[in-house]
Amino acid sequence: MKKLESKGIGTQVHYIPLFMQPLYRDQNKNKFTGAVEYYEKNLSLPMYIGLKKKDIMYICKTLKTYL
């Protein structure tokens, strides 16, 4: 995320496991290892109506350099 941000590409994580939310944080910690693994590897890329093809190409090119 930091490398992409340094190239002007904002990213975020949209999926946060429900059991990590404050209301549920103290319950069932060890039962959802798959959700935790997904959360730790998940990344949401830019996606919005005004995203231009040249922006998509830049994002893809930049991602390729880090993958």
3-state secondary structure the chain: CHHHHHCCCCCECCCCCHHHCCCCCCCCHHHCHHHHHHHHHCCECCCCCCCCHHHHHHHHHHHHHHC
Total domain count, the chain: 1
The residue that leads in pLDDT, 51 or 22, is: 51
Q: What is d(CA 6, CA 60) in angstroms, rounded to the nearest whole number? A: 15
CA–CA gap between residue 36 and residue 29 (Å, rounded): 10
pTM, 2 dp: 0.70
Do the beta carbons of residue 19 and residue 32 sit within 8 Å? Answer: yes
CATH number at residue 53: 3.90.1150.10
Domain range enclosing 8: 2-66
38-53, pLDDT tens digit by residue?
888 888 999 999 999 9
